[in-house]
Each structure stands twice: as structure tokens, then as C-alpha cells.
Structure 1
Amino acid sequence: MQKSLTKTLVFQLQPDEDGQRLLDDAFLEARRVYNETIWRAKNGEDWDEIRQDLESDANLVNNTAQLVVQKSLEAMENYYEYDDYNQPSHTKDGTYPLRSNYEEGYNLFLKDDCIRYRVSAKPYNPVKGTLSGSLDSLEQLRQAIQSDEWRVGTAEAMQRNGNYELHINITHTEIEVQDKAESRTVVGVDSNEDCIALAALHENDIVDSVVIDFPEIKKERHRYFTMRKRMQNAGKSSFDRAFEQKEERFVHDQLHKVSRQVVEWVSLFETPVIVFEDLKEMRDSIDYGTRMNRRLHSLPFRKLRDFITYKAAFQGIPSEEINPEYTSQACSLTKCEHTTRANRNKKRFKCVECGRQDHADRNAAINIAKKELEKLDRNVPALKTLPTVRKLRRQASGCVDQPTVTHDTARGHHADGVAGVSD
């Protein structure tokens, strides 16, 4: 099965002083367009009128103005889709990225061993220079420019950590992704705010399972929430917005790292398919009170799933969704499968019927995989016993900078056969 897939390459622009000034002015104008779009959309103005007014009045090239407005309205659309959670702010401060289409708002040129760029920061005022970045990214971009199988798409010029960057999307139009009906290994995925559980099943047994911890995301999100709340109470709204943007960047970076590790683990198995819980069904089922609803609805489930999905697709691995009903409450042993909310207490699963104990998220991941086997009309294994759950931590103290565990890890993993830090 052929599929069109997109990935993002990051490069440094390194403009001269005039180029920096042009980009800074354009970033501020893009921010003004974004804020005004959100403000008018909140006030109930017609979206078509907002587009027409701001695209024509913005002191940006037409292509960039159109894409900034489009991105703003997409943020509002996403807010309405998830039942009025995470309303976009109309008072964003700092700089805002310039989004543009290839050969409209920006262009690339191959020259000798370099890739030259031309970014239209303002009308009739382009910024020019040479892209710098990793050798791998430069080679992939050069291939995308020259090959008919690749397409260079939209890009965002932005300022991050004091550096000027260009994030370029490239799309492979003919990636070969295996048909999920031909998959031999079904990998169930259960995502939470501080870990992700994976369980790989065949038709005759469970192959392996693992829980990957990322407590730093939950910790940092709570820390930023506390700081923003204090700033709001003190009337320091500008600091509040700054913290919000820092949190977003931190979570984005961490989710990329988690998704890479997930795909590495899944790739160890024969013709796998990755199975997620349906996000809409999951969000609709959340109702634990105002405070807990805010925490759970704001979790980046969609972003993590999207990162895993497209990274897996580049490895030819398909993805699927199932209805998450009762996956966290049912005992995963085939001979039992007793289902009740009393089975789960935070991270501990203890079946009140058969007494089996397990990590709650690993138990849910197994149930997700079993549901997919049923959906594929495959035999569901008669699980009588389950191996001890293994927990991986993406980081450890000291000089260790890889997942470390108390038991032997999966075949070929980074920390293969190494015992170390665990919860």
C-alpha cells in the first residue's frame, strides 16, 4: 500500500544584520495577524471575512499572510472540536513563525555543495543566504529538490533560542506501507501523561511488552501550570504567555524523543501494526471533575500519536485505532476477562475476580492488542500467564544517557541485556 508521508527538516539561516531586522519585523507582523485573527474569531465574526480583511491588509507577502491566518483559524477549529478546551490566546507575545509555500514565500537553490535560500520576509524584501544543518538533513533536502519521488512543501521561518531557523516539510509521495491485514504482530499502545505502555501479541501468545516512562513531561507541565497560575493571580499576563510557549516547545521536543523510541521498539517485531485507542472516543469518556478534566483533556495524546504514526509509516509500519471501551478495566487473562472499574487503582491493576496483579497501563495495552486481533478476524491467544512487566526510563542519573532497566530488555534494544535504574 502506497502512502504519502511528510517529515520536517530543521536548518539554521544565519542571516546578516539587515536580514535579521527584516525577519524580526516580519515575525512581529505575523504575530499581529495571528492575534487579530483569534480575537475576531472569538467575537463571532465570519471566518471568510476575517481571511479577506487580514490577508489583504497584512504587511506580509500574500502567501505568508494566507497561511498565518489559516493556521490561526485551525487553532480555533481544534478548540471547538475538543469541547472548548485549550482556547487559543489572542494576546500572544514574542515572535511568530512565517509560514510559506515552496516557490511562493520561499525558494531553494542548489549551488556547488551548498543549498541557498530566499525567504520573502516582507513584500519586495527577501532574506538570502546559505542553509546550515546536519549532513543528513542537508542530503535529504537535496534529494527532495532533485527527485520526482519527493516534494518540497511548506516551511516556517522562526526564531528559537536566539537562532534563526527554517523548518522545511518534505513529502515522499510513494512510501510503501504494509497492509495492516497482512500484519503478523499486533502492538497495542496505551498512552498516559507520564508513560506509554506497549504490548506485542501474535495469534498464539504475547511476544513482549514494555512500559516507557517519561515523568519529566508530567513534572514540567505541572511546574509550568503552577507558575502560570501564580502569574495570573499577580496580574502578570505577559509572563503567563511566555511560560505557555516554553512549555509547548519542551513538550514538543520530548514527544519527538518518546515517539522515536516507540518506533524503534516496534520495529523489532515481524510485520507489526500499531494500534491506538480512538482519541475522540477516549476524550468523550473523560469526566472526572473540573480539575482532572483540565489535566486530561490538555494532554498531548493526538500529537504523540501523530508523531508515532508518521515515524512508523516511514518504516513501512501501518497504524490503526480501536474503540477504547473497557480496555483499562478488563482483566487481560483470557480465562478471566472480568471487567469492573474496581480492578484499577492508579497504576496498579488487581483483578477482583482472579486476583492477578499487573501494571495497569500494560494490562490496557494487551486488551487493545486483543481487540485489534478480533477486528482483523484473527485468533486471540489464550493468555493464561503474562511475563513480568518491564519499565524503561528514557533517562537516568549520572553518566547514563539511555534507557536502563532491572530486567533484560527487548532484543536489540539500546540497553540490551543491561540491568540498571528502575522504579
Structure 2
Amino acid sequence: MGALRITKKSNKYIAQISVEKVSHIVKGDVVMGVDLGLKVPAVAVTDSGKTFFFGNGRQNKYVKRKYKAKRKKLGKAKKLKVIKKLDDKEQRWMTDQDHKVSREIINFAVNNNVSDIRLEKLTNIRNTARTSRKNEKNLHTWSFYRLAQFIEYKALLKGIKVEYVDPKYTSQICPECKKLNKARDRKYKCSCGFKTHRDRVGAINIINAPVVDGKSLLA
């Protein structure tokens, strides 16, 4: 604590110092579920039903395709150093997107007096995530863990508690009658009459899912 570190990157010097920030715990019982995905990076729903969709999945996939095409051309030319720089640039872009989305989520939570944010436990999310075959490559190159980590530390700075829940059936259980249904495209519809966006269903069910201890680094 209080240690100073100076580093040099791209001919620029960066000074970093560690400080302690005291956070006041938010009082209340407003819970918010957050569902992470590809087409919609994050969907947040409060226990009163307030909902917000965060990020731009189409933009994310477009940028990743662009970098992939560039790497393919460079690979044929065997420009390995340039490829490495391009990889670093893409990772910086992805990290920046996660920072922006996580910041927006926390702002939404603060504005709605949320005291507890719940996320799915990340173990094996790549095996259970709801995605099509054409999105499998994007699924394996996107860091769900990093986004969850950003949400967690930003929440703690605001005094908001973060919990992780069992992700089993969160995308299938009807929030009204508890019947299991599989969504078609982005729409979820149950025979009881309940219908909404499929990712919103996940966020609603995350609010009421069993809380589990710990989180995996695998995602």
C-alpha cells in the first residue's frame, strides 16, 4: 500500500500508486440480475422489473472479423511481429469494451438503488452458453470472466454486494410458472402467456437462482 511503480510503454512513462478506498455498503434489498452473452453483451434486470440492454454484440463481432481478416493476410506474408501487435491491439479494444459495459451497468445499478448484483457462476460457461454454431468461435475468444471481474470490482467500489449463482436452466425456466421452455431466436414464450426477450429471462432467473460460493477462472 502506497508503493509507487513507474513503467514505460510506447515511449510513454506511466506512474501507478496503490491506495486504499473505503466504500460505504449500500443499504437496502434491491437485487439486480445480470445475464452475459454474445449478441447482447449484458442484460440487467432489477427485482422490480426495470431492464436495460448493454453493449453492441454486432459491433463486437464485426471488429473481431476485421482483425481476423487482417491476421489471415499477414499470416500468408509471414509477418509474425505485426500479427502480435495486431493481437495486442484487439485485446486492448476488447478490454476497453468490457470497461465501458461494466461502467454502464454499475451506473444503472446506482441509479436504481441496487444493493446486490447477481451474476452466473462462470464455470464451463463456454459449454452451456446459449449460442449458435456460427458464434462458437466468438464464444471461445471472448472473456466473460473479465467482464464479470470488472463488474465486481466497480460494484464493490460503490458499496454494492456481488454474488454468483447456479446458472442451471436460467435461460429456460419461465419466471411466472417455472415451466422449462427453449427460446426461438431472441424470443422467449411460455404456454402460460409469459413472453419477453430471451436474455431478459436469464437475468430475471439469475435474481432468484441459488447463490453458490466462488467463481471459476475458466471463462
User: What TM-score do the two structures reach when normalised by structure 1?
Assistant: 0.45
Flag the structure with larger Rg. 1
Aligned positions, number: 210
Tell me if structure 1 keeps the 8 A contact 2:5–2:17.
yes
Map of 1:350 onto structure 2:
189
Other-structure match for 1:159? 9
Contact 1:188–1:276, Cα closer than 8 Å, also in 2: yes
Structure 1 residue 328 displacement after superposition:
1.1
Partner Cα distance (1:168, 1:244) in 2? 25
Local SS of the residue matching 1:172:
coil
Amino acid at match of 2:137: R
Deviation at 1:293, TM superposition (A): 3.9
Residues 187, 274 of structure 1: 8 Å contact kept: yes
Q: Where in structure 2 are the equivalents of 1:392-403 lying within 5 Å?
A: none
TM-score by length of 2: 0.81
> Which amino acid in the other structure matches residue 184 of structure 2?
N
- Greater RCO (CA < 8 Å, at least 6 residues apart): 2
Deviation at 1:331, TM superposition (A): 1.9
Instruction: State the Cα distance separating 1:298 from its structure 2 match.
Output: 1.9
**How far 1:253 sits from its partner (Å)?**
1.6
1:269-418 to 2 correspondences below 5 Å: 269-285=112-128, 292-332=135-175, 334=176, 336-340=177-181, 343-351=182-190, 353-371=191-209, 375=211
Query: How do residues 28-39 of structure 1 correspond to structure 2 at under 5 angstroms?
Result: none
After TM superposition, give the deviation of residue 354 of structure 1 in Å.
Answer: 3.0
Write the distance in 2 (CA, Å) between the matches of 1:345 and 1:175.
Answer: 43
Q: Which one of the candidate residues 246, 249, 252 is aligned to 2:95?
A: 252
Supply the AA of the counterpart residue of 2:148.
R
2:216 is aligned to none
Contact 1:344-1:350 within 8 A present in 2 as well: yes
Q: Distance in 2 between matches of 1:167 and 1:217?
A: 31
Q: 2:157 & 2:206 partners in 1: Cα distance? A: 23
Provide the rounded CA distance (Å) in 2 between the counterparts of 1:276 and 1:189.
Answer: 5
Identity of aligned residues (%): 26
- The alignment partner of 2:51 has SS state of strand
Query: Cα deviation per residue 1:240-283 (whole Å; 9 max; x = unaligned)?
Result: 22211110111112221211111110012335211111111423
Please state whether the residue corresponding to 1:349 is helix, strand or coil. strand
1:73-128, Cα deviation, whole Å (9 max, x unpaired): xxxxxxxxxxxxxxxxxxxxxxxxxxxxxxxxxxxxxxxxxxxxxxxxxxxxxxxx
Q: Which moved more, 1:240-249 or 1:230-239?
A: 230-239
Partner of 2:111: 268
**What RMSD over aligned residues (CA atoms) do the two structures have, in Å?**
2.8
Please list every run of 5 or more consecutive structure 1 residues that lacks an aligned counterpart in the other structure.
Answer: 1-150, 377-423
Instruction: Label 1:211 to 1:301 Cα distance change in 2 as closer, same or farther (>3 A).
Output: same
1:208 matched to 2:50: yes
Instruction: Work out which of the residue numbers 81, 102, 110 in structure 2 matches 1:238.
Output: 81
Tell which deviates more after alignment, 288-297 or 243-252. Answer: 288-297
What is the DSSP-based 3-state SS (H/G/I as helix, E as strand, rest coil) of the residue aligned with 1:361? Answer: helix
2:208 partner letter:
K
Return closer, same or farther for 1:305/1:287 CA change in 2, 3 Å cut-off.
closer
Is the partner of 2:108 in helix, strand or coil?
helix
Equivalent residue number for residue 192 of structure 1: 37
Q: Which amino acid aligns with 1:273?
A: D
Going from structure 1 to structure 2, the CA distance change for 1:241 and 1:355 (only over 3 Å counts) comes to farther
CA displacement at 1:346 relative to structure 2? 3.4
Q: How many angstroms apart in 2 are the aligned matches of 1:155 and 1:347?
A: 47
Q: Judge conservation of contact 1:152–1:168 (CA < 8 Å) in 2.
A: no
1:359–1:270 Cα change, 3 Å: same
Distance 1:154 1:287 in 2: 44
